[in-house]
């Protein structure tokens, strides 16, 4: 960790580049109905789940093929104009906002499964397919794609932000699960990275460089990801704890013992209360862990017994079990509705979400101090976490009309991030840097590493047209 910056990390200045009318004409000539300048369409593509507001893009191109993407990028390059790839629009960090103007390149129509290789546990898809659609389409194979960031995000967007979510504790993140890519470069050329082989030492790992590059180095047009056999047995449980600390210590011990748990999600008592009000669930209003175990029936039983023993040491009891898909869906309702329930609990509010992730042994230190700090601030919040990975999210529910509240929330976030960095963690476990964490990125990795990123960006995108103004100022 480096010396923290003294200032709060707020939205950097918006610096709109003018979009030439000739580009819009050229796009309309090339794309016809696939290019829209309608206000409503532009506005829908000019925001995401972040709390920032900037002017919308000048046009939206709906790409239907890699050739479409390549042609759109080539035209944008010709006119030095930013291109912002758009999938499902579920970014939390302002990735989709046209902070330097430009056009939105919507790939949601590129949503096909291109090839399934069940024998190798891989599938190749277009970027606009969402994770739920993918799982629906491969159902018959007995395989599944485990990464679940909550939102029904596009696989392209998940690749671009190195997403993870529940299940990552067992199955890894997009970093571990993307094998190969097709990418349109800043000059509109099409390249391929990686192969379907499980491992390779063939040159620079361009696949991993693109994963998490947030649309700033290329537009992803094909993705090959790993699949997993549906587990023979699945069992889910919900368990309440007398305190957040008890739930967290149970998690730490579970991970340190090497239990191959598939999901372990924390929901604090505030959030349980919100979810109860929203979805009429009648859960005990105490901190709880939602857990899922995958494996052979014997293994699932062993894992569950081990975790029950650990939980009971920390006062966790009243395990409620679910073995059928329907029962499991009911249990997971609490987790999947947390965000919406929280936002509804304070009408008109905006949620500012934190995303720190620390080594598992540091989780209690990081989380408990931040809970105390946030409680003391008086800002309403929800708290959920993929705690098995050391990753959790506070959602500060602020009144967007009250600059003081935003300032308090940002100050809390700042303290939390500094604490996480001191504990050898990261400012963002899974949401990405986007607009909101540029300063934190420097705090985390140092100016030298960010300079290296900037050098790579300048070399691969000399006109700075690919989602400019994200990750670092440029």
Site for its own copies in 63-102 (CB under 8 A): none
| Closest approach of its own copies to the CB of residue 117, in Å | 7
Angle among Cα 9, 12, 14 to the nearest 5 degrees reads 160
Q: Which residue has the tokens 């192969």?
A: 195
Encoded tokens for 104: 């939105």
The only residue of 43, 192, 242, 369 in contact with its own copies, by rule CB under 8 A: 192
Encoded tokens for 434: 């986007």
Q: Does 105 bind its own copies (CB under 8 A)?
A: no
Instruction: Report how far residue 274's alpha carbon sits from residue 269's, in angstroms, rounded to the nearest whole number.
Output: 9
Q: How many CB atoms lie within 10 A of CB 412?
A: 21
Identify residues 439-458 at the interface with its own copies (CB under 8 A).
440-441, 444-446, 448-450, 452-453, 455-456, 458
Q: Does 161 bind its own copies (CB under 8 A)?
A: yes
- Closer to its own copies by CB, 129 or 442: give it: 442
Q: Does 234 bind its own copies (CB under 8 A)?
A: no
Q: Is 395 helix (H, G, I), strand (E, B) or coil?
A: strand
Q: Does 425 bind its own copies (CB under 8 A)?
A: yes
- Closer to its own copies by CB, 181 or 331: give it: 181
The only residue of 163, 178, 289, 352 in contact with its own copies, by rule CB under 8 A: 163
Q: Does 8 bind its own copies (CB under 8 A)?
A: no
Q: Does 142 bind its own copies (CB under 8 A)?
A: no
Encoded tokens for 14: 């918006």
- Closer to its own copies by CB, 342 or 433: give it: 433
Instruction: Report how far residue 21's alpha carbon sits from residue 6's, in angstroms, rounded to the nearest whole number.
Output: 42
Question: What letter would DSSP give residue 400?
Answer: T
Identify residues 374-403 at the interface with its own copies (CB under 8 A).
389-391
Asked if residues 461 and 83 have their Cβ atoms less than 8 Å apart, the reply is no
Q: Does 143 bind its own copies (CB under 8 A)?
A: no
Crossing angle of the two packed helices 269-279 and 338-345, in degrees rounded to 10:
90
Question: What letter would DSSP give residue 99?
Answer: B
Burial of 384 (0-12, 13-18, 19+ CB in 10 A): buried
Instruction: Report how far residue 221's alpha carbon sits from residue 184's, in angstroms, rounded to the nearest whole number.
Output: 7
Instruction: Report how far residue 436's alpha carbon sits from residue 433's, in angstroms, rounded to the nearest whole number.
Output: 6
- Closer to its own copies by CB, 322 or 421: give it: 421
Q: Does 305 bind its own copies (CB under 8 A)?
A: no
Q: Does 248 bind its own copies (CB under 8 A)?
A: no
- Closer to its own copies by CB, 292 or 443: give it: 443
Number of residues that bind its own copies (CB under 8 A): 82
| Closest approach of its own copies to the CB of residue 356, in Å | 8
Q: Does 230 bind its own copies (CB under 8 A)?
A: no
Q: Does 299 bind its own copies (CB under 8 A)?
A: yes
Instruction: Report how far residue 99's alpha carbon sits from residue 102's, in angstroms, rounded to the nearest whole number.
Output: 9
Q: Does 217 bind its own copies (CB under 8 A)?
A: yes
Encoded tokens for 428: 């963002």
| Closest approach of its own copies to the CB of residue 82, in Å | 19
Q: How many helices (H) and strands (E) does the chain have?
A: 17, 18
- Closer to its own copies by CB, 252 or 412: give it: 252
Instruction: Report how far residue 11's alpha carbon sits from residue 377's, in angstroms, rounded to the nearest whole number.
Output: 22
Q: Does 198 bind its own copies (CB under 8 A)?
A: yes
Q: Does 432 bind its own copies (CB under 8 A)?
A: yes
| Closest approach of its own copies to the CB of residue 196, in Å | 4
Encoded tokens for 449: 């590493």
Site string for its own copies, 261-280 (x = CB under 8 A): --------------------
């Amino acid at each position: 960790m480096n010396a923290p910056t003294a200032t709060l990390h707020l939205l950097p200045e918006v610096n709109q580049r003018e979009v030439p009318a000739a580009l819009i004409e050229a796009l309309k000539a090339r794309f016809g109905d696939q290019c829209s300048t309608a206000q409503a369409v532009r506005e829908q593509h000019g925001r995401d789940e972040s709390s920032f507001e900037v002017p919308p893009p000048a046009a939206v191109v709906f790409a239907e093929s890699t050739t479409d993407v390549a042609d759109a990028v080539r035209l944008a390059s010709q006119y030095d104009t930013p291109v912002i790839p758009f999938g499902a629009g579920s970014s939390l960090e302002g990735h989709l906002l046209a902070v330097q103007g430009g056009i939105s390149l919507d790939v949601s129509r590129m949503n096909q499964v291109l090839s399934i290789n069940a024998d190798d546990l891989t599938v190749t898809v277009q970027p606009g397919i969402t994770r739920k659609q993918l799982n629906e389409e491969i159902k018959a194979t007995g395989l599944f794609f485990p990464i679940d960031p909550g939102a029904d995000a596009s696989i392209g967007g998940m690749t671009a932000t190195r997403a993870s979510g529940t299940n990552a504790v067992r199955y890894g993140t997009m970093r571990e699960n993307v094998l190969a890519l097709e990418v349109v470069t800043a000059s509109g050329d099409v390249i391929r990275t990686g192969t379907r082989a499980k491992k390779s030492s063939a040159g620079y790992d361009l696949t991993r460089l693109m994963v998490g590059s947030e649309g700033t180095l290329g537009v992803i047009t094909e993705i090959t990801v790993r699949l997993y056999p549906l587990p023979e047995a699945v069992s889910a449980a919900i368990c309440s704890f007398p305190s957040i600390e008890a739930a967290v210590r149970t998690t730490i011990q579970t991970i340190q013992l090497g239990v191959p748990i598939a999901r372990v999600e924390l929901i604090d008592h505030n959030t349980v209360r919100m979810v109860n009000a929203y979805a009429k669930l009648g859960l005990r209003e105490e901190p709880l862990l939602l857990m899922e175990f995958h494996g052979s029936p014997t293994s699932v039983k062993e894992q569950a017994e081990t975790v029950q023993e650990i939980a009971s040491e920390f006062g966790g009891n009243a395990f409620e079990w679910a073995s059928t898909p329907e029962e499991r869906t009911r249990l997971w309702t609490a987790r999947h509705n947390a965000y919406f329930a929280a936002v509804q609990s304070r009408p008109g509010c905006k949620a500012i979400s934190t995303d720190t992730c620390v080594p598992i042994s540091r989780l209690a230190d990081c989380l408990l101090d931040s809970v105390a700090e946030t409680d003391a601030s008086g800002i309403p919040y929800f708290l959920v976490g993929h705690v098995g990975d050391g990753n959790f999210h506070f959602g500060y529910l602020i009144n967007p009309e009250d600059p003081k509240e935003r300032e308090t929330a940002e100050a809390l976030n700042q303290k939390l991030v500094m604490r996480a960095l001191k504990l050898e963690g990261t400012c963002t476990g899974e949401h990405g840097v986007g607009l909101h964490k540029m300063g934190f990125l420097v705090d985390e990795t140092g100016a030298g590493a960010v300079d290296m990123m900037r050098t790579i960006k300048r070399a691969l995108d000399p006109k700075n047209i690919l989602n400019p103004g994200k990750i670092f100022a440029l």
